[in-house]
Structure 1
Amino acid sequence: MMTNNNNQESIQISGHLGPIKALDVPLTLEISPLTVFIGPQGTGKSLVSQLLYFFRDAQYLISTHSKQEEPEGSVRKVVEGIRSGENSKRSFSSFVMGDKVDISYTNEDNHQGKDDWTITCYESNRTIRPKSKFNQEIQSWLMKIVDNPSLSGDVQSNALFVPAERSFFSRLINSDPQSLGGSELPITMREFTRFLFKSADTHQKWQEDFQEQPLEVKEIDRLITHELRGHAVFSRKGLYARRWQWMPEESNRPIEIEMASSGQMETWPMVSIAQAMFGWKTSQRPLFIHIEEPETHLHPSAQVAITKLLTYLCNKGFRLVITTHSMLVLYVLNNLVLAAQNLPEENFDNLPDASLRLAPNQLSAYLFSDGTAISIRDRESGQLDESKLSSVLGNLETQYNQIQAYDILWR
């Protein structure tokens, strides 16, 4: 259920959790309406995003995927299920180095009070134990379902996790859609499938009555379609009824979705869901959206467009966490913050529209590396500090200059 965008959120890790080494001082990340995690591979970006996703949608995930075990077993089943399918032999305890790791989450807003929850993960016995208040909360959720099992279907999901493996959905959504909900897949992928199926029904309804399509759908089309060179369609009737297809730009002949380009296959699922959400009741929209590597397989101009989609959603009241490897995403966000600071509230040619600009206090960004994560947002300017990220580019430039100067300076 969507609320307002004034949540005060944070996640804290105490201990050695996989690549995160918060041994002496806990690692605390303040979460803004749009929060970006950037850094090299294997530094903990997705791990932290997945843990945050668990806390944000804990009641739904536990009520739906825990099979109503006691709180400790329920939490372990869901946390491990977010990382891997039910057939996996891996356990979350493989991330725990040392005796234990504490992971805490706080979320305070003006309407629903404050959540202050902690889980403790133990290496020796693979236990994931919810602490006091959180344990009591989970117990109350589970007891409601035990007393009335039909209530499990009434718990609304409050978060959407958009996984990195989006082309996987393009390959199977038409040919073997049932496999996308299989228990051998992680919970994140199964839940994403559910959202994708729901969005298909919404897009089909709009085909039958175009007038019902909200303004936001058209605005997202204007933002994205040209840069992707087309858009996804969900056929209503005929040979391809109830199948996703790709409609190339300036064409009226769709192709199978798995015949689209790699960037198109990666991007259409999250764009189609983003549009469909505006056709759902507010109570049915996820407040929290996690997106892994939205730039995957995209040309730079399309990366710019997809980043603007993120700020558009943020300005519509959604709270987003993004993991990325793209410097370009940060450059775009910096421009949108600067535009919000310097431009009047009107649109100009060749400058970001007012609906896409991002107020500085809406943005956080963290660089993950060397066992920790540091904020790269300058508190005074509100801008992201690109110098903290440019060492790779700087090294390449230095190397280029050395190669250029070989005949001049080295002999």
Structure 2
Amino acid sequence: MKNKIFTLNLLVLFTATLLFGISACQKNASNNNPVSTDGTKPDPVTNIRVENSNGSAHIIYTLPKNPNLLYVLAEYKIDENKPRQTKSSYYTDTIKVDGFAESKEYEITLYTVSRAEVKSDPIKVKVNPLTPKFQVVNSQLELTPDFGGVNISGANAFKAPLSMHVVFFNSETNKFEEKDPVNISTQNINFSVRGFDSKPTQFGIYTTDKFGNKSDTLFKTLTPLFETMLDYKKFYKYSLASDAPIGWGGELHYFWDGRTGEPGWHTDIAPVSQGTWGLGVKAKLSRFKLYLRLSAAWGYQNPKVFTIWGTDKTNPVDIALPNASILGQTIGDWTSMGTYTYPNPPSGLPANQANSQDMQYMADGVDFNVPLDAIPTRFIRFVVNQTWGGISYTNAQEITLYGSPQ
């Protein structure tokens, strides 16, 4: 009898649990139902004022005291063919309208919207955004000759995400053509587009933003500077006492012998890993391509941060160089031509997880631009400030230098 009662109790408990589960499922399913069935039209916002800024405006208001309110909706056009909507929740008293293509008056229609998606009566508001960011930035850009092309520089004080489009007149096709856009979101703008002969060419630059707005085009006729690959067969080792000793047979001349595989330059443990060589000519450098050791990809003794020092002296004197410098800093006979950082894996993976595409990127060599205001030089001192593995010796497979011999 006790067993029957115990079994009956278990059956009742199981049934109750099952019914509770069904009820819970029904309650969860109701989450897909409308937030509210109250079809009452909400009141509109009041006490409206506008704060205009570059290409946008903030509309500030007082919300109605409606417990059913969900958000405020703004509807407007950023130009004749581009309608846009923005929303702001009932937790704030401000809505931002943006993406405007010009500095002029625009009409905004505001609604409050209830939890049942019922709109209030419309309220019309006028905004007068200041000159859009993409126009401000483009109007202040400078185009100057660079090696094999044109350099574009300027400021993006807003740090706005923008795309820079370089165009050039192709005398063979008798029309303007466009290079791949360069995406910018930093405060300073400085990039070069290369691949042009050293002859007068009409270049242009225009800027677009994430809303598809496009600035006017700035044009300028420039003659790109002559650029060629420096002849590595003229390079020679220029031994200085403060240079790092060679380790594991990795002589310095392997660093510029025209081969990107083993062997490469390899130093032994020293306070500073650096090597010095003569170019055989005086040259204004434009860029260089660096090949690192694939078996130590983004690790071990591969350079991560390094400085190039140069001099126009014919017999430069040795001196201890610092582990950090700024462009143009001169110590003894040597002047900094820039400090460079080898980029992270393009995939975005951590350094120790580089994939096959990352490895191919390293195998192809990485380009570094030498600043236009770097000095012409007869010698190079390559100083490794930091390796990927944080160790006190280094290796590198090959460096290819480009520029204009003088």
Q: If the TM-score is normalised by the length of the shorter chain, which range does it land in? A: under 0.3
Q: Which structure has the bigger radius of gyration?
A: 2
Task: Specify which structure has the higher proportion of helix.
Answer: 1
Task: Specify which structure has the higher proportion of strand.
Answer: 2
TM-score normalised over the length of structure 2: 0.20
Question: Of the two structures, which has the highest relative contact order with CA contacts closer than 8 Å and spacing of 6 or more?
Answer: 1
